[in-house]
C-alpha cells in the first residue's frame, strides 16, 4: 500500500523548513505518511501531485511583488491547509475590524490608507500625542516592518513618520496603535488550536523594546510554554467562535482549520485585546511546548486518513 503524501510548503529562505518545524517530517513518517518539502513558488513543483499541502514556513508571502502571486498559488493548490478562502482575509490585518464587529476586543487603531495620499504633516497629526505607539503595515509576515516609537521624542516621532510614509508610498495600508504597557508587564499569550481543539499555549516575551525600530527582518520570539488560565481559555474561545463566523460570512460555509494561533494580551482591566490571528505562516511553537509536535503530526494524520 502506498503511503499518503503530505507536502510541507515553505519558502526559499527556509528550503528545509525553519527550526521549529524541522522535526515534523520524521513525526509524519512515524504515522505512515510520506512527507515532502517544497518551496511554494518553485516553478518546478507539480502541486497537483503534492497530496495534502500544509502551510509551514511561508514567511516571504507578504514581501513586495509576492503577495498576489502567493494568493494565486494558494488558489491553484487542490488540497491546501489552511484553505485559500481563509488566507485571503487573514493575510490583511483589516480582518481585525471584522472580528471587532463580531464582538472581539481590539486595540484602538488608526488606519492610514495609501489612496488618501497623506502628507508627512497629515501622518504626524494622526499619531498619538503622548506615550509609545506602534506602526505596522496591514500586510506583513513575522512582524516585518513593525516599529515602536515614542510620541514625545522628536527623533522617534520623525522616524515613525518616515516609516509610515515608506509603507504608504508602496501601496501598503498602515496601522497605528498605542503600545500596551500590559505587554511589557505580562507579555502576550498564544493559544494554538489544531483541528479546532486547543493543543497548547505559550507566553511570549515583549519584542518591541523602547529602542526598537522598524525592520524587514523576521522578529525572533522568546517563548515559555504554560497552561492557559481559565480566563485565557475563555478569551480564546470567544475569538475562535468569531473566526468561524467570519469564515461562514466570507466563504458561505464553515471550515475546519488545521491550525489556528490566537494571540491575546490582557487589557489591565480583567479583559483582553486580540493582537493577531495567524492562519498562514503561524509559528506553532512545536519545539517549545511539551507534546506540541506530536499533537500537530496527529492533527495532520487525522486529516489525511479521514
How many C-alpha atoms does 265 have within 13 Å on its Cβ side?
Answer: 19
In the chain, CATH 3.40.50 covers: 5-89
Q: What is the CATH number of domain 93-106+183-291+299-305?
A: 3.30.470.20
In the chain, CATH 3.30.470.20 covers: 93-106+183-291+299-305
* Domain 5-89 -> CATH class: alpha beta
What confidence score (pLDDT) does residue 212 get?
45
Looking up cell 511589557 gives 184
- Total-model pTM: 0.92
In the chain, CATH 3.30.1490.20 covers: 109-178
Cα separation of 61 and 280, whole Å?
9
Q: What is each CA distance from 63 to 60, 74, 138, 206, in whole angstroms?
A: 6, 16, 12, 24
Mean pLDDT throughout 1-14? 93
Return the percentage of the chain with pLDDT > 70, whole number: 95
Q: Spell out the alpha helix ranges (H) of 45-188.
A: 67-76, 84-90, 95-101, 120-125, 154-169, 181-186
Q: Is the CB of residue 122 less than 8 Å from the CB of residue 103?
A: no
Which CATH fold topology does 109-178 show? Dna Ligase; domain 1 (3.30.1490)
How many C-alpha atoms does 186 have within 13 Å on its Cβ side?
Answer: 12
Can you name the residues that pair with 148 across neighbouring β-strands? 134
Mean residue pLDDT of the chain comes to: 93
Q: What is each CA distance from 38 to 44, 46, 140, 270, in whole angstroms?
A: 10, 10, 22, 44
What confidence score (pLDDT) does residue 77 get?
98
pLDDT in tens, 94-150: 999 999 999 999 999 999 999 999 999 999 999 999 999 999 999 998 777 899 999
What confidence score (pLDDT) does residue 297 get?
98
Cα separation of 196 and 82, whole Å?
12
CA 125 to chain centre: 29
pLDDT in tens, 34-78: 999 999 999 999 999 999 999 999 999 998 889 999 999 999 999
Amino acid at each position: 500500500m502506498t503511503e499518503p503524501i503530505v507536502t510541507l510548503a515553505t519558502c526559499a529562505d527556509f528550503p528545509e523548513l525553519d527550526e521549529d518545524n524541522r522535526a515534523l517530517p520524521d513525526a509524519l513518517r512515524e504515522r505512515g505518511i510520506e512527507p515532502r518539502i517544497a518551496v511554494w513558488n518553485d516553478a518546478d513543483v507539480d502541486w497537483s501531485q503534492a497530496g495534502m499541502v500544509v502551510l509551514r514556513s511561508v514567511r516571504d508571502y507578504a514581501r513586495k511583488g509576492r503577495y498576489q502571486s502567493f494568493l494565486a498559488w494558494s488558489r491553484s493548490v487542490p488540497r491546501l491547509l489552511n484553505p485559500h478562502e481563509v488566507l485571503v482575509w487573514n493575510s490583511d490585518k483589516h480582518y481585525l475590524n471584522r472580528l471587532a464587529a463580531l464582538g472581539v476586543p481590539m486595540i484602538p487603531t488608526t488606519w492610514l490608507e495609501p489612496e488618501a495620499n497623506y502628507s508627512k504633516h497629515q501622518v504626524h497629526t494622526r499619531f498619538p500625542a503622548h506615550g509609545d505607539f506602534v506602526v505596522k503595515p496591514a500586510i506583513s509576515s513575522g512582524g516585518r516592518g513593525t516599529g515602536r516609537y515614542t510620541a514625545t521624542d522628536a527623533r522617534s516621532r520623525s522616524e515613525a513618520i518616515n516609516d509610515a510614509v515608506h509603507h504608504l508610498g508602496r501601496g501598503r495600508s498602515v496601522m497605528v496603535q498605542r503600545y500596551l504597557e500590559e505587554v511589557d508587564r505580562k507579555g502576550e499569550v498564544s493559544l494554538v488550536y489544531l483541528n479546532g481543539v486547543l493543543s497548547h499555549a505559550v507566553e511570549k516575551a515583549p519584542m518591541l523594546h523602547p529602542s526598537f525600530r522598524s525592520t524587514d527582518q523576521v522578529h525572533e520570539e522568546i517563548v515559555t510554554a504554560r497552561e492557559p488560565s481559565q480566563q485565557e481559555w475563555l478569551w480564546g474561545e470567544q475569538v475562535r467562535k468569531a473566526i468561524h463566523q467570519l469564515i461562514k460570512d466570507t466563504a458561505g460555509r464553515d471550515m475546519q482549520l488545521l491550525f489556528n494561533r490566537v494571540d491575546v494580551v490582557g487589557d489591565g482591566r480583567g479583559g483582553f485585546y486580540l493582537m493577531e490571528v495567524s492562519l498562514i505562516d503561524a509559528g506553532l511553537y512545536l519545539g517549545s511546548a511539551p507534546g506540541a509536535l506530536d499533537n500537530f503530526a496527529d492533527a495532520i494524520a487525522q486529516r489525511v486518513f479521514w
